[in-house]
Amino acid sequence: MTDIVEQFRRYAELCKAVQRKAIELENHPDKVKQLRRFSPGEVADILGISPSHLRNLVRMEGFPQGTIAGSSRRSFTIDEIHEARRWLLATTGNARYAPQRRPGQDKLQVVTFVNFKGGSGKTTSATHFAQYLALHGYRVLMVDLDPQASATTLFGLDPDAEVEDATTFASWLRRDDGAGSAEARRLTRPTYWPGLDLVPASIALQHAEYELVGRLLQQREYPFYRQLGGFLDLVGEGYDVVVCDCRPDVGMLTINALFAATGLVIPIPPSMLDFASSGEFFRFMAEVAADFRQSLSSSALSYDFVRIVTTKYKSTDRNQTEIVSWKQALFQEAVLKEPMVETALVDAAGIVKETLYEYEPGGSRRTYERGLAAMNRVNATIEAELLAVWGRPRTRTREAA
């Protein structure tokens, strides 16, 4: 009989081989993920202006021209979109073209996506939100705290071959006593998304869980729950928003993400099993908050917002529609009105380790645009929560020509 250890190792290597092949197929010959170009319609929507206004702006001196391909269709890079935003800010003075937080006024927002049940769409939600923010001009840090490293893989990194233990958050937990901001900043890795950095994950985070438990047993006063918060204190000045993707269970790293968060987003698919699992999550949160408030501070685990997002929603499924209506009636304003629609496009993009913001469909563009618009509505609703905390308008208004 095959040794179970060797069998599992072989299966793990086969899974990695499939991932590497998908990346190679999409990014041949250099196997490095690159961000696609954006159409004028997409750029207008991102900037919050009308397509006709964008056409007029392109004729103006100093405004990014984009590139015209052989078919005479203009396209823009994300760097050109950011340049266009800066141009609009300089020429109009409109503060909506300056999305970054104001130094000394707006606090760093740490948005933790968490659910204790796998398959809830947590990583999909977190990664799309981080990329949406970067696309709209925010400085973003994504922290992958899941040893499965799904978010890290979506950014084109092979957790086994390209992510060393020393480059994950596990390294920070093993730091010397004298480690400071320089050591912390070394863990933040730029991605191919301008304005979006990543603290990647690997299996090293699983070992870090055990190490945190061991240290707590040896040193009862060790503030295990403040390790991520302390790390963000050192690097947070360079960012507007930190997005945390947690493992789908209760662990030391998840508790760190809950303590560091200023806002929580809980993805819940519209099924009774997921509803029941989420009930256990909220029960756990109540107990943890009560315990830590009794032992630490009455303000422990206080958030600017806690929102539930419906994921994997099929509007044609009557049972799901009914569950969503129950959810909205029970949780009221805590539930985002915009659901994350289940679409084959997310699966198609996932095959080549891409998000909807990166994917270029080979089929119907209209179907893709509908799926992307639904994703944008969800992310804009979460963005509105951040803006409200900063005392800014909660909605995006489109500027006419």
Distance CA 172, CA 166 (A): 8
Distance CA 46, CA 81 (A): 8
Of 144, 375, 353, 150, nearest in space to 254 by CA:
144
Model confidence pLDDT, tens digit, residues 360-382: 877 667 778 888 888 999 999 99
Q: How confident is the model at residue 12 (pLDDT cuts 50, 70, 90)?
A: low
Distance CA 143, CA 141 (A): 6
Q: How confident is the model at residue 8 (pLDDT cuts 50, 70, 90)?
A: low
Distance CA 76, CA 393 (A): 27
Q: How confident is the model at residue 395 (pLDDT cuts 50, 70, 90)?
A: low
Output 2 or 48, whichever has higher pLDDT.
48
Q: What is the mean pLDDT of the chain?
A: 85
**How far does CA 18 lie from the centroid of its chain?**
24
pLDDT exceeds cutoff 70 at 25: no
Of 259, 272, 276, nearest in space to 212 by CA:
259
E strand or H helix that includes residue 307: strand 305-310
pTM of the predicted model, to two decimals? Answer: 0.89
Distance CA 317, CA 313 (A): 8
Which range, of 110-124, 334-348, 375-389, averages the lowest pLDDT?
Answer: 334-348
Model confidence pLDDT, tens digit, residues 263-307: 999 898 877 777 677 777 788 888 888 888 888 877 778 889 989
Segment 253-269 shows an average pLDDT of 92
Segment 243-271 shows an average pLDDT of 90
pLDDT exceeds cutoff 50 at 4: no
Model confidence pLDDT, tens digit, residues 52-62: 999 999 999 99
Class of domain 109-389: alpha beta
- At 364 the pLDDT is 67
- At 368 the pLDDT is 81
Segment 150-167 shows an average pLDDT of 92
- At 185 the pLDDT is 95
Q: How confident is the model at residue 29 (pLDDT cuts 50, 70, 90)?
A: very low
- At 401 the pLDDT is 44
Residues sharing a CB contact under 8 Å with residue 401, sequence separation 6 or more, in sequence order:
49, 50, 52, 53, 56
- At 34 the pLDDT is 84
Model confidence pLDDT, tens digit, residues 205-245: 999 999 999 998 999 888 999 999 999 999 999 999 999 99
Partners of residue 267 on adjacent β-strands? 309
Segment 118-130 shows an average pLDDT of 90
- At 30 the pLDDT is 52
Q: What is the identity of the amino acid at 261? A: A
Output 242 or 14, whichever has higher pLDDT.
242
- At 235 the pLDDT is 97
